[in-house]
Amino acid sequence: MALIAGFVVAVVATPVAAWCATRLGLVDHPGPLKVHARPVPYLGGVAVLVALIAPVAGARPSLLVPLALACALGIADDATDLRPALRLGAEVGIGGAAAWVAAPHDAGHVLLGVVAVLVLVNAVNLLDGLDGLAASVVGLGAIGSFVVLSGSSATLAIALAGALAGFLVWNSPPARVYLGDAGSYLIGSALAVLILAASQRHAAVVSGALLFVAVPVADTTVAIVRRVRARTPLLRGDRGHVYDQLVDRGWSSQHAVLACASAQAVFTAAGIGIASLADGVAVGLAVATIALVGTAAVLAFTSPRAWTPDH
């Protein structure tokens, strides 16, 4: 029911959110770092949050707190372009809130919550560069979390998958609405909550859960290494992400999205399988997979021949 409710509400709420965004002037205009040809409204993330409210509130209402805070932060960033220091400080607070509602109240879980939110909010935000990309990748990861988790965390995961599927009805190419920062911060924080839930299970589940966020984290790792090699500021936007490079190499935007989503589907299936193994075997396989994929991504997408700051 959480899957169906999330899907139906998102399908209905997304065009309403797009209309509101247009009326409020929260619109993404074409530009040097933009691939779309016409203005597209933001606030799709608000529709995703609305779609999560009923199923998550029915399971564990407190889980909505960090999600609502993340969405509010994103709305503020969409509207005013917050300074990086202020945005990162707010993300630290959201990480603390996520740990408080989703994990035992100890320093280790608070630190994990802060790190998970900082990494995943920014990773999903960086991934949100092509129509349907972030929503499809995160939705696939959420399905994996649903399979290996239980209780309220599983409800959040499957409701998130349903809400993102409903949002994709309007966000698939050519997109009529974007997640905006409100949406990327929201779903990144939701992934962080699911990581916190997995951290309380045995090592095999933790190992598998890491693969559910493989594509966003790999793309961000590539971006960091690439910018360090090019000696450009880490926080300056560019068009050198993995999906951008695929397009620059002649792929269509749709094929680039399909490639990234297919990769995440493979990682999700692998993570589900790893989560069912003995702890020692699972940890070894997860570490080997992450090392292999990370090395391959860095070699393929950070060399000067693969990318230059002028792209």
In sequence order, what are the beta bridge partners of 40?
28
Which amino acid is located at 103 in the chain? A
CA–CA gap between residue 253 and residue 278 (Å, rounded): 40
Answering whether pTM is above 0.85, one says yes
Give me the half-sphere count of Cα atoms (radius 13 Å) on the Cβ side of residue 122. Answer: 23
Share of the chain above pLDDT 70, in %: 93
Give the contacts of 164 (CB within 8 A, at least 6 positions apart). 10, 48, 135, 136, 138, 139, 142, 187
Instruction: Band the pLDDT of 298: cuts 50, 70, 90.
Output: confident
CA–CA gap between residue 87 and residue 195 (Å, rounded): 22
Query: Would residue 128 count as lying in a domain?
Result: yes
* pLDDT at residue number 300: 83
The mean predicted confidence, pLDDT, of the chain is 92
CA–CA gap between residue 45 and residue 164 (Å, rounded): 9
In this structure, the dihedral spanned by the alpha carbons of residues 265, 17, 184 and 95, taken in order and rounded to 10 degrees, is: -120
Query: Would residue 308 count as lying in a domain?
Result: no
Kindly report, residue by residue over 228-262, the tens digit of the pLDDT: 887 777 767 677 789 988 998 889 999 999 999 99
pLDDT at 174 over 70: yes
Kindly report, residue by residue over 133-173, the tens digit of the pLDDT: 999 999 999 999 999 999 999 999 999 999 999 999 999 98
With the C-alpha atoms ordered 224, 230, 231, 235, is the resulting torsion angle positive or negative?
negative
Query: Would residue 86 count as lying in a domain?
Result: yes
| Domain membership of residue 42 as a residue range | 2-301
pLDDT at 31 over 60: no
Query: Would residue 310 count as lying in a domain?
Result: no
Query: Would residue 247 count as lying in a domain?
Result: yes
Query: Would residue 269 count as lying in a domain?
Result: yes
Query: Would residue 95 count as lying in a domain?
Result: yes
Kindly report, residue by residue over 53-78, the tens digit of the pLDDT: 999 999 999 999 999 999 999 999 99
* pLDDT at residue number 29: 74
Which amino acid is located at 90 in the chain? A
User: Considering its fold, how many domains does the chain have in total?
Assistant: 1
Query: Would residue 76 count as lying in a domain?
Result: yes
